[in-house]
Amino acid sequence: MLHRLLSGDLPRSRVLAVLLILIVAGLFLVPFIFPGAKALDVAAKICIFIVLVASFDLLLGYTGIVSFAHTMFFGIGAYGVAIALTRLGPTWTAVAAGAGLALLVSLALSLVIGLFSLRVKAMFYAMITLAVATAFQTLASQLSDFTGGEDGLSIRVPELLTSAFPEVPRLFLGVALNGKIISYYLLAATTVVLFLVMLRIVNSPFGRVLQAIRENEFRAEALGYKTVIYRTASNVLSALFATLAGVLLALWLHYNGPDTSLSFEIMIDLLLMVVIGGMGTMYGSVVGATIFLLAQNYLQDLMKVASRGLSGVPVLRDLVHPDRWLLWLGVLFILSVYRFPAGIVGKLRMKAVVKP
Amino acid sequence: MTFALETRELTIRFGGHVAVNAVSCGFAPGTLTAIVGPNGAGKTTYFNLISGQLKASAGSVHLQGHDISGLSAPQRSHKGIGRAFQLTNLFPNLSVMENIRLAVQSRAGMGLNMWSIWSSHKDLIRRAEEVLETVALTAKRDLAAAALPHGDQRKLEVAILMALQPDIFMFDEPTAGMSVDEVPVILDLIRGLKTQGDKTILLVEHKMDVVRELADRIIVLHNGALVADGDPAEVIASPIVQEAYLGIEVAK
């Protein structure tokens, strides 16, 4: 059962298995163990980014295609739902219509960009995706009648997902089961399903061909695999899952704008999460997204505490001042990439092979 | 008769250089043809034209009488043309087993299956294990291909070709760089293919003792052109081969 659910791709390391169980259990219990809006918000972001990072890993880690247009598809999903909800009102039909249209747009765009990938070398392909993504970002902020421009769109979501629902929420273990909690659990459940689907894809015969293409495209061709088809399919699939992550983002935030889904900063975060977690491992997306977002959201708080504790020590006090949190975040990432070039999951699995 | 494989006036030019020059040659099923010639004679280029890695400037390639000149490398692979490469050409970070399994999977036409678990296709794995056994690599099945010593990599290269089960086998110096005690494994495999009787085998080889032992026929390429073709003993004895190919040995 577990074997089928995880597509035969078990963690293969005890430490990793424990880590994954902790993360999943933590995510599902957040409303009960960490009350407060911030914790729930960070947990929801982790879920959304697990989907986004996993979809990027499908392309980068498994197929070996470097693309900078991944946030574009994320944005298309978020804008699709946001625009549909603004125009059609807060109904589930609007959500479905927005998501459906967004998927169609992503399908068409990724197909076109994917076909480019056959014509040009890896580096130029990366440049093309960068150009397309930048153009799209400009377009999104210029078409302000549609997209709300730089301000973005604040949206009203179906009533079930709002914190005002129901009027008198039931209490469960001291937590009010309102629309916010419902929408968090819907989000978490969707994340699990999407992740397992992607895990299945990379462990299918098709997924094995993707890895063969990453390793030696010329040889894959000689074996009889039409790499054109596989590379394009990988591009399209990865774009569609990113679009779905975007849909989840807009529904969670009740808002979408260029900075929340399209910005190049998110693209860089995404790259870091994939690399920290471990490219080509899928589980890396869970570990990478969790560690990155926890650090991004809580490092500053942690430093505030440390700084107060060290208020008597002159240099140290300044070093851990909360304003320096970005510096320390950077140091953490450099260290982790330096210490774990294969990512955390890659490293754990290697260790597990050495000492069984 | 219809040849299993035939090239007609097959030519490729790189700028002003004619690497393969109007080579017309037919290969009958059940025979092993050795292709010899000095370095730079165009042997590997000739192979690339047949298996589709290069497109001919002129002339054509025919498989069972059908013109396949317009087909891509993967399409030719599916039509039954199998190729082992001169420079070892593997999936370096995938396991030995996976290298072979991917070939078996391609042969089974399963590549686009996205919804089953690869390891649930036990028949493919069993078939890959059989091939692994024939090249005596079973003990190293879980090693990464890149971690194998050179001789084993050559064996794996041949094993991948076997796993594809083609009708046309093209070996490009299969024993190059192998230690003496490893060579027989490969030669036995090729001999085994010959006894099946319906396989067409093309072999580029520099070691004349190997050629003498295995070949039913020898063709000689020199500066991209076919300069001799016939019975091994005759061809080896002919003056043109003595001069063009074995010249160095004679000079010694």
Beta strands in A45-170 (DSSP E): 153-154
Judged by CB atoms closer than 8 Å, whether chains meet at A215 and B77 is answered as: no
| B250 has a pLDDT exceeding 50 | no
pLDDT at residue B46 is higher than 50: yes
Is B85 in Cβ contact with A215 (below 8 Å)? no
Q: Cβ contacts (< 8 Å) between B110 and chain A: which residues?
A: 205
Task: Note whether B74 contacts A224, CB cutoff 8 Å.
Answer: yes
Neighbouring residues of A173: CB distance < 8 A, sequence distance ≥ 6? A32
Q: Which amino acid is residue B196, in one-letter code?
A: Q
- Asked if residue B118 lies in contact with residue A205, where contact means CB atoms within 8 angstroms, the answer is yes
Structure tokens at A80: 């699709």
In chain A, % helix, strand, coil (3-state, to 5) comes to: 80, 0, 20
Cα torsion B137, B142, B146, B148: sign: negative
Residue type, B107: R
Residue pair B5/B47 in contact (Cβ under 8 Å)? The answer is no
Domain ranges of chain B: 5-251
pLDDT at B137: 94
Give the pLDDT of residue B245.
62
Chains A–B, number of C-beta pairs less than 8 Å apart = 98
CA distance A346 to chain B (A): 13
Helix ranges, chain B (H): 43-51, 73-79, 96-107, 122-134, 150-163, 183-196, 208-214, 232-237, 239-244, 247-251
In angstroms, the CA B214 to CA B35 distance is: 12
Distance CA B118, CA B124 (A): 9
Contacts of B193 (CB under 8 A, 6+ apart): B169, B199, B201
pLDDT at B236 over 60: yes
- pLDDT at position B251: 41
Looking at residue A157, what DSSP letter applies? P
Chain B residues within 8 A of A229 when measuring between CB atoms: 112
Residues of chain A with a CB closer than 8 angstroms to some CB in chain B: 4, 7-8, 200-201, 203-209, 211-212, 215-216, 218-227, 229-230, 233
User: Is it the case that residue B249 has pLDDT exceeding 60?
Assistant: no
Whether the bond between A166 and the residue before it is cis, its omega within 30 degrees of 0, is yes
- Which top CATH class is A2-354? mainly alpha
Distance from CA of A196 to the nearest CA of B (A): 11
Q: How many residues does chain A have?
A: 356
Rounded Cα gap, residues B164 and B177, in angstroms: 24
Whether the Cβ atoms of residue A40 and residue A184 lie closer than 8 Å to each other? yes
Q: Cβ contacts of residue B7 below 8 Å, gap of 6+?
A: B23, B24, B25, B46, B49, B50, B59, B60, B61, B62
Query: Could you give the CA distance from residue B54 to residue B45 in angstroms, rounded to a whole number?
Result: 8
Contact A219 B91 (CB under 8 A): yes
Give pairs for B206-213: CB < 8 Å, separation 24+.
B206/B36, B206/B173, B206/B176, B207/B175, B208/B36, B208/B236, B208/B246, B210/B175, B210/B183, B211/B34, B211/B36, B212/B236, B213/B187
For B136-168, how does the pLDDT look when each residue is reduced to its tens digit (9 = 90+)?
999 999 999 999 999 899 999 999 999 999 999
Q: With an 8 Å Cβ cutoff, are A211 and B160 in contact?
A: no
Looking at residue B247, its pLDDT comes to 55
Helix (H) or strand (E) run with residue B22 in it: strand B17-27
Average confidence (pLDDT) per 10 residues, chain A, 356 residues: 92 95 97 92 98 97 94 98 96 97 97 81 88 94 93 93 86 87 97 98 97 95 94 96 98 95 93 94 97 92 87 83 86 85 92 63
What is the SS3 assignment for A104? helix
DSSP secondary structure, B186-210, as one string:
HHHHHHHHHHHSS-EEEEE---HHH
**Taking CB atoms and an 8 Å limit, are B116 and A225 in contact across chains?**
no
Residue type, A151: D
Please state, in angstroms and as integers, the Cα–Cα distance from residue B163 to each residue in A156, B82, B85, following that order.
58, 10, 14
**Domain edges within chain A:** 2-354
Q: A199 to chain B, minimum CA–CA distance in Å?
A: 10
Fold that domain B5-251 belongs to in CATH: Rossmann fold (3.40.50)
Q: Residue A172, SS3?
A: strand
**Nearest residue to A297 via CA among A317, A269, A337, A257:** A269
Q: Which are the contacts of A259, defined by CB distance < 8 A and separation ≥ 6?
A: A152, A265
Question: Burial of B190 by CB count in 10 Å (0-12 exposed, 13-18 middle, 19+ buried)?
Answer: buried
Note the pLDDT of residue A23: 98
- The CA dihedral of B86, B92, B98, B104, to the nearest 10 degrees, is -30
Q: What percent of chain B has pLDDT over 70?
A: 96
Q: Is the pLDDT of residue B248 over 70?
A: no
Check residue A354 and give its pLDDT: 58
Min CA distance, B97 vs chain A (Å)? 12
Question: Which position has the token pair 């046309």?
Answer: B168
pLDDT at B98 over 50: yes
Q: Which two tokens stand for residue B47?
A: 């192979």
Give the containing element (helix H, strand E) for A307.
helix A283-309
> How much is the pLDDT for A197?
98
